[in-house]
Amino acid sequence: MPPQSRRVVVPFTPQKPPWRLEAGDAVALMRELEDRSVHLVITDPPYFIDGMGADWDDSTLARRAARAGVVGSLPVGMKFDPGQARAFGRFMSAVAGEAIRVLKPGGFFIAFSQARLYHRLAVAAEDAGFEVRDMIGWTYTGQAKAFSMDHFVRKMPLPEAKKAALIKSMEGRKTPQLRPQIEPMVLAQKPREGTFVQNWAEHGTGLMDATQTWEGKFPGNVIHCPKPTPAEKGAGNAHMTVKPVRLIEHLVRLFSAPGQVVLDPFAGSGTHGIAALRAGRAFIGFDIEESYVTLAKRRIEEVAHER
Ligand SMILES: C[S@@+](CC[C@H](N)C(=O)[O-])C[C@H]1O[C@@H](n2cnc3c(N)ncnc32)[C@H](O)[C@@H]1O
C-alpha cells in the first residue's frame, strides 16, 4: 500500500480513547499503519499447535481436546509436526517485516514463542532487519504432558508375553516432552538513528527504563510470573492462551515511555492492551477472531474506566 493511503493512527487525541481494536489479519491491518508511528510492538502470535497451518480455531482445538488422550490422535499440543517451525518462521517473517516498518527507529519488537520454535522467530526478526538484543524467558509452573507407550503396545498384534516384555523394557519411558516451564520471547530492536542519545532525543525510543525492577531486582532476562488466575482473566474469558497482565505491564514499562504507542497485532483477549493502558500508554490491537476482539474490548474498557 502506498504511504499516502495509510491511515493516520497517532497521535490519539484527548477526545478519543487512547486505544483501538480491530478484527482482521495482523499483516493486512499493520499495512494500514503509517511508517514509524509505533514505539513498541509486544505480541504473542499463534504457534500453529498440532500442525493446524495458519489457522487458529478454538472450535477445532476443542474437538481435538474432546478426543485427547486416546489412540489414533495424539492429545492436543503434543503432535510433533516437523514443518511447524518453518511455517511459523515464514509467518513471522511477514509480521516482522511490517513491525520494523511501523516502529520508530530504536523501537523494540518483543514476541513470544515456544522453546522449540524460538529459533525461527529470532531468525525472522533478524532477517527483517532487527537487531536481536536478547531472549527473555517467561517462566511459570507448567503441567507435564509426556505420556507412556503402554497403550499402543497393548494394541499391537503380538503374543501377550511379548507385549508384557516390551512394556517392561520401556518402564518409566515417556515421549520426549519435558515439563514446560518457559516461554521464550525475542527482544529485538529496530536499528537506531545515530547514537543512543541522538535516537532518544529524536524518537524517545531505544533505551530501557532500568527503574522498572522485578521483585526488587534490576530487570533481568528471566521473569518468573504465575499464569493468570480465572479472576484475572475475567468472567467469560475462554481464550486458551491468556498472558499475565503483570508480566506484560512490566515489559511495556521497561521498553517504552508514558504516552507512547504500543501495538499488539495478535491481541487475543486484550491482555497487552490492559497492560499498556495501566502503564499510561496508547494501544492498538488486532485479532483475526471477531469474538476475541469483542472480549478484548470488554476487558480493556474495564481498565479504561479505572483511569
Ligand atoms: C496466543 S493468542 C494471544 C493471546 C493474548 N496474548 C492474550 O493474553 O489474550 C494469539 C491470537 O492471535 C490470533 N490470530 C491468529 N492468526 C491471526 C492473524 N493472521 N491475524 C491476527 N490475529 C491472528 C488468534 O485469534 C489469537 O487470539
Atom of ligand 1 nearest to the CA of 46: 10
Q: Is the CB of 98 under 6 A from ligand 1?
A: no
Q: 109 near 41, Cβ under 8 Å? A: yes
Q: Look up residue 195 and give its three cell numbers.
A: 547514537
Instruction: Return averaged pLDDT per consecutive 10 residues of the chain, 307 residues in all.
Output: 58 68 97 96 82 43 40 47 85 97 98 95 98 98 92 96 98 93 98 98 98 98 96 88 97 97 97 96 96 95 77
In the reported structure, the alpha carbon of residue 268 is separated from the centroid of ligand 1 by a whole-number distance in angstroms of 5
Atom of ligand 1 nearest to the CA of 239: 9
Q: Look up residue 20 and give its three cell numbers.
A: 483501538
Distance CA 275, CA 294 (A): 17
To test the pocket of ligand 1, the residue of 22, 47, 56 to mutate (highest count of ligand atoms within 8 Å of its CB) is: 56
Q: Is the CB of 112 under 6 A from ligand 1?
A: no
In the reported structure, the alpha carbon of residue 218 is separated from the centroid of ligand 1 by a whole-number distance in angstroms of 31
pLDDT at res. 66 = 41
In the reported structure, the alpha carbon of residue 196 is separated from the centroid of ligand 1 by a whole-number distance in angstroms of 33
Q: Is the CB of 244 under 6 A from ligand 1?
A: no
Atom of ligand 1 nearest to the CA of 270: 9
Q: Is the CB of 32 under 6 A from ligand 1?
A: no
In the reported structure, the alpha carbon of residue 239 is separated from the centroid of ligand 1 by a whole-number distance in angstroms of 9
pLDDT at res. 35 = 97
Closest to 255 (Cα-Cα) out of 209, 303, 302, 200: 209
Distance CA 262, CA 16 (A): 16
The pTM score is 0.89
pLDDT at res. 190 = 98
Q: Is the CB of 271 under 6 A from ligand 1?
A: yes
Q: Is the CB of 56 under 6 A from ligand 1?
A: yes
**Residue spans of beta strands (DSSP E) within 143-238:** 182-189, 222-224
Q: Look up residue 185 and give its three cell numbers.
A: 520471547
pLDDT at res. 1 = 59
Domains observed in the chain: 17-69+79-141+180-306 (3.40.50.150), 144-178 (no CATH)
Q: 207 near 200, Cβ under 8 Å? A: yes
Q: Is the CB of 189 under 6 A from ligand 1?
A: no
Q: Is the CB of 242 under 6 A from ligand 1?
A: yes
In the reported structure, the alpha carbon of residue 31 is separated from the centroid of ligand 1 by a whole-number distance in angstroms of 17
Residue of the nearest CA to atom 5 in ligand 1?
268
